[in-house]
Amino acid sequence: MGVPRSSYARSQTVSSDKRTPGGLLLAVVICTLLASVVAVLAFPGNSARGAATLPPNFAHSQVVGGLASPTAMQFAPDGRLFVAEQRGTLRVVKAGGTLATFLDISGRVDSAGERGLLGVAFDPDFSNNHYVYLYYTQKATGTTPAHNRVIRVTADGDRAVVGSERLILRLNNLSSAKNHNGGAIHFGEDGKLYVAVGDNASGENAQSLHNLKGKMLRINKGGTIPRDNPFYDQATGKNRAIWALGLRNPFSFAVQPQTGKVFINDVGEQTWEEINQGAAGASYGWPRYEGPESDSKYRNPVFAYRHGSTNTTGCAITGGAFYNPATRQFPSDYVGDYFFADFCSGWIRRLDAATGNVSGFASGLERPVDLKVSKDGSLYYLSRGEGADSVGKVRFTGA
């Protein structure tokens, strides 16, 4: 899957991601022995396994299994859960833990390395127009190189309308590197579509206004570019879509309901994993810096954690979600908090957005790659890996 810059991305291409000898060796072994898993994340060691450990009065359960290398999930405004699979299929989770196929574009999706179907979002006016947006890697065809793109299709129940596809944004051609694609897409509270793009394993892309790589983009939902974007007058053409820069592999991000606050999870290289607060015109320092630094030209992370294999360290920050559901289920002190997960260490932690304090929440999970909060206040987590391609949920059982 196009996973975060640290884990999946960094271990997929040994030449572009410096890792500890042990981490690189494991990545190579995994690539050799578990090609199907690698297509999703060539990760360095210590993947968590076993039963989940939760705070008192919380319980977890499986929602659905039988997925194939899932990369992202999203709730439709009507409450249905959609799951993207790297190979190019978008699935709908049905009652009783069954799956329907909403769309299958696997014939044209390049799912090598971290490429593939990587993001899904729903139009704010979905109840009227039924628009679904997807981010995926288009295969090379003829003289056209592989590239990432955002498309829109129209939903008719649990199926996409045949012939409804529209190209919204074509990104730059990709190099031979198959990692650092980013891929998360979400609508902001301003009604604009935000797109997270990795640096394609070339750090210098992240600071350039001449390409879309290593950036957060902001576009109108029809594909045009808002004139109030921060670099509109400095950049040209599609590069005017750049909203923030200096990112390595922003595998996921989240938008807080009502406030519109954006938290961007950027996967690290050697030392740090970051949560950055999105801001128009901001640069987050990559490739000059990784993690906290004192250079005023760059915006510091809201929170960063070191690489390791403990309950507070990891190797690849993945899913993130604000706890602001329509119906609050968790205790009141969780409201407004930001949940985030690490793929390698298999935990979910929470950041108190008011105080900046970070505490543990869940551990022992199977390779979490995405998090979402449902309308009823449950926390859903998406797992991928050998035998663990599934959606689970955490609910509060009462004091």
Please give the model's pTM, rounded to 2 decimal places: 0.89
Q: What value, to the nearest 5°, has the Cα angle with vertex 248 and ends 246 and 250?
A: 100
Task: Report the SS3 class of residue 37.
Answer: helix
Task: Report the SS3 class of residue 11.
Answer: helix
Name residue, tokens 């301003």: 190
Secondary structure letter of residue 303 according to DSSP: E
pLDDT of residue 277: 98
pLDDT of residue 66: 95
Instruction: Assign a CATH topology to domain 8-396.
Output: Neuraminidase (2.120.10)
Instruction: Report d(CA 27, CA 20) in Å as an integer.
Output: 11
Q: Which two tokens stand for residue 388?
A: 């663990």
Amino acid at 270: Q
Instruction: Report d(CA 172, CA 239) in Å as an integer.
Output: 10
Secondary structure letter of residue 241 according to DSSP: G
Instruction: Report d(CA 366, CA 275) in Å as an integer.
Output: 22
pLDDT of residue 22: 33
pLDDT along the chain (399 residues), means of 10: 38 34 31 32 39 94 96 97 98 94 98 98 98 98 96 98 98 98 98 98 98 98 98 98 98 97 97 98 97 94 97 97 97 97 97 93 96 98 90 93
Amino acid at 243: W
Element (DSSP H or E) covering residue 314: none
Amino acid at 7: S
Q: What value, to the nearest 5°, has the Cα angle with vertex 5 and ends 378 and 153?
A: 60
Q: Counting beta carbons within 10 angstroms of the beta carbon of residue 33, is it exposed (0 to 12), middle (13 to 18) or buried (19 or more)?
A: exposed
Amino acid at 137: T
Instruction: Report d(CA 153, CA 243) in Å as an integer.
Output: 25
pLDDT of residue 311: 94
Element (DSSP H or E) covering residue 139: none
Q: Which two tokens stand for residue 166?
A: 């529209």
Dihedral through CA 245, CA 301, CA 310, CA 198, nearest 10? -10
Q: Which residues pair with 244 in a beta bridge?
A: 216
